[in-house]
Amino acid sequence: MPALTVAAENITAAAAAVIRQHAHPRDQALLLALLEYAPSEKGRANVAHKIIQCGDSYKAEGDSRCLSQVADFFWRNLILPVRVTGGKTPEPRSRLAQSGMSSAGNVRSPAETEAISDLKTVIELASARDRHRCVISGKLDPESIADRPAALSVPGNGFEVIRVAHIIPFSLRESSGAASGHLPSIWSALECFGGTDLGTLMHGGINSLNNVITLSATVHRYFTELQVALEPLSDSPHTYAVRTWGKVAPRLGLPKTVKLTSASPGATLPNPAYLALHCAICRVLWASARAEELKDVLDDLEEVALLAADGSSANLINIAIYRSLAFSKLEA
């Protein structure tokens, strides 16, 4: 076994021991899940180092709050933002989205306006690349038949309206809006846990073709709610195990594996590292013993506010954090 792998296993085991010995019971499942499901060795080592540093702090000062702070960091900056903003890609065809104005009447910055206008192009490219079908269920977009009757010649699994989803959410793009103050922490958590450089996405590349995927409306809902994910299979390029969680997604009759291919010569396929990161975040949520808590928080949010049409999400992320903190105090 390579020395690097042995070292990684040793540090992971040491971090797990720190969690079991010193973490608050509420935080143990989340911290252990972060350690177990980080999608790369580097990501696992990043998480382990943070935890071991807290163990050292406990030995020196007898203070276990450091581990709670690590758990809160990943909960607030990894799980909550991806879940809250996951399905909030704006609809570029709306007149409002094309006007340069947000739904609140504020003038967008040039960068924000460009990001919105880029959406139409990337959605068209992704839909063509993915044959106007959900890449998981295989269902064909009925709207595509009018202009492309030849699409019917390809075997499929019925019809359903499709949507193009961002893997790393569009709402986490670099922005000058109210959410910008929170964004560095979110991207830091994503890169730390993922063990991969996301700078290209962070700085204007959120609409890259390798960060979008075509899904049916049903699969899109559960994908953005962290109940459906694609997990890369290491022995076959662009082949994925379909993972599901919750009460509904496992009953959708989705295939066990899918292989992503492109119908457009030269079109970039979804980045396996982004899909692995999304899948790992799903795994952490469902292993954290907090999934139902988060559902309750988000159910409350529906009664509080609706997202702006431009995908702005600062208020919802902040409200979700405050509501989640309220839950944690009740359980403390």
pLDDT in tens, 89-106: 666 554 334 434 344 444
The pLDDT of residue 303 is above 80:
no
The span from the CA of 316 to the CA of 332, in Å, is 24
Give per-residue pLDDT as tens, 43-90: 999 999 999 999 877 666 666 789 999 999 999 999 998 998 776 566
**Banded pLDDT at 320 (limits 50, 70, 90):** low
Judged against a pLDDT cut of 90, whether residue 287 lies above it is answered with: yes
Q: Which residues pair with 257 in a beta bridge?
A: 241
For position 156, what pLDDT does the model report? 66
Any idea which of 31-35, 197-201, 267-271 has the lowest mean pLDDT?
197-201
For 211-239, write each residue's pLDDT tens digit. Answer: 999 999 999 999 999 999 999 999 999 99
Question: How confident is the model at residue 307, as a pLDDT?
Answer: 46
Q: What is the dihedral of CA 226, 262, 210, 112, to 10 degrees?
A: -100
Q: What's the pLDDT at 317?
A: 57
pLDDT at residue 146, as a whole number:
73
Q: What is the pLDDT of residues 91-147, one digit of tens each?
A: 655 433 443 434 444 455 555 666 667 888 899 999 999 999 999 999 999 888 777
Give the model's pLDDT for residue 259. Answer: 97
* AA identity, residue 233: L
Least confident of 38-42, 68-72, 295-299: 295-299
**For residue 65, what pLDDT is reported?**
86
Cα separation, 30 vs 79, in Å, equals: 10
Alpha-helix residue ranges (DSSP H) falling in 195-239: 199-200, 217-224
Instruction: Please check the confidence at residue 179 and state whether its pLDDT lies above 70.
Output: no
> Which residues in 54-83 are b (16+ Cβ under 10 Å) and which e?
bbebbeeeeebebbbebbbebbbbbbbbbb
Q: Is 306's pLDDT higher than 90? A: no
Residue 143 CA to residue 55 CA, distance in Å, equals 57
Say what percent of the chain tops pLDDT 90.
Answer: 54
- pLDDT on residue 102: 46
CA atoms within 13 A on the CB side of 124: 7
